[in-house]
Structure 1
Amino acid sequence: MSNNEKSIILTPSWKAFFWRYFFGVILTPVLIGIYLLWKTWKTQKGISYKITDRKITVVDGHISQNIDLADIRQAVSGEKSFGVGSVVLKTSGRKIELIGLKNPEAISKSIEKAVEAELKRIEAEKEAKPRESEYDPGSMDRLEYLTGLWQQGLIDDQDFRAEKEKL
């Protein structure tokens, strides 16, 4: 990651797992609740979303997925409950849901703005690309070498023109 690249890390709120925590507390006397609380806490802590200038990395447990911002076609905020919701990122080939985010509408709008900025950056990069030479790489060096030989009188005009035509 370059020094000037910005990044933000988001994690799901505990409210996204409210019902799991609720049933874990209720079932604590049966000892299943302790396992359910531990499993829910571990699941919640294993999820994170790292958003940079060019991509979004989704970590869910041991699985990590990268999504380039330029590939995102749509970012839609999902339903909200307990003040948290989800953001669904749609690309041409897949759909990924970022769960448990506070203020998902603002996050989806921010992601859409970042996608627009990334597409503009890519377009500007294409336009700024230097035009391709009409000569093969190194052909200018060979032409300079031939010109030097011709100027020194080591080859005559006919040989110079013939070699120049080959280039």
Structure 2
Amino acid sequence: MTSTKRSITLTPSWKAFFWQYALGILLTPVLIGIYILWRTRKTHASIRYKISDQKITVVDGHISQNIDLVDIRKAISGETQFGVGPVTIRTSGREIELVGLENPAQIARSIEKAVEAELKRLEAQKQTKPRETKYGPGEMDRLDYLTGLWQQGLISNEDFDKEQQKFKKD
């Protein structure tokens, strides 16, 4: 069974950093505003959220955190300002906030649907049984060797049938 892994990368909206940008613009004549703008832009550009079929990767600067979808207990959208808000992901051991996402309620619902789908996939995978082989390890090689001897005429038909019966399972 082949599976194609799908993923999407989200970045925070500039609206999440509105007040920092506004402060930087207001303080530009004092020169500290340039530093505030630079720092805000650097922070804004360093945050990424990669959501795939099996996990969520949160990258914040040089720090990267992975959350398996099966570990997620709840995804909650926070209050929005300018149409942008956080999504809080709760696992059994920690809580991570994805900041600055547009339509956080929709993203939280999508994450919860992805968690349900991953749990169903894992359950279906547990229920599938491996196929039983007809022959034990090494028996196919011995049967091929026997067939080669028979085809070359080195053993008779009766000997071939007699030896072949040893490989058949009931």
TM-score (norm 1): 0.77
Aligned to 1:137: none
Q: Deviations over 1:96-123 (max 9, x none)?
A: 0001001001000000000000000111
Aligned to 1:12: 12
Q: Which amino acid aligns with 2:122?
A: I
2:96 aligns to what SS in structure 1? strand
Q: Distance in 2 between matches of 1:74 and 1:131?
A: 37
Q: Distance in 2 between matches of 1:3 and 1:35?
A: 47
Q: Which amino acid aligns with 1:31?
A: L
The answer to whether the aligner puts 1:71 opposite 2:71 as a matched pair is yes
Question: Per-residue deviation at 1:131?
Answer: 9.1
Closer, same or farther in 2 for the Cα pair 1:22/1:127, shift >3 Å?
same
Alpha-carbon RMSD across the aligned residues, in angstroms, is: 2.4
Q: Distance in 2 between matches of 1:55 and 1:83?
A: 26
Aligned to 1:116: 116
The answer to whether the aligner puts 1:126 opposite 2:155 as a matched pair is no
Q: Deviations over 1:39-83 (max 9, x none)?
A: 000000000000000000000000000000000000000110011
Q: Percent identity?
A: 67
Q: Distance in 1 between matches of 2:86 and 2:9?
A: 15
Q: Distance in 1 between matches of 2:42 and 2:8?
A: 22
2:24 aligns to what SS in structure 1? helix
Q: Distance in 2 between matches of 1:129 and 1:13?
A: 46
Closer, same or farther in 2 for the Cα pair 1:101/1:141, shift >3 Å?
closer
Which of structure 1's runs of 4+ aligned residues deviate more than 3 A?
129-132
TM-score (norm 2): 0.75
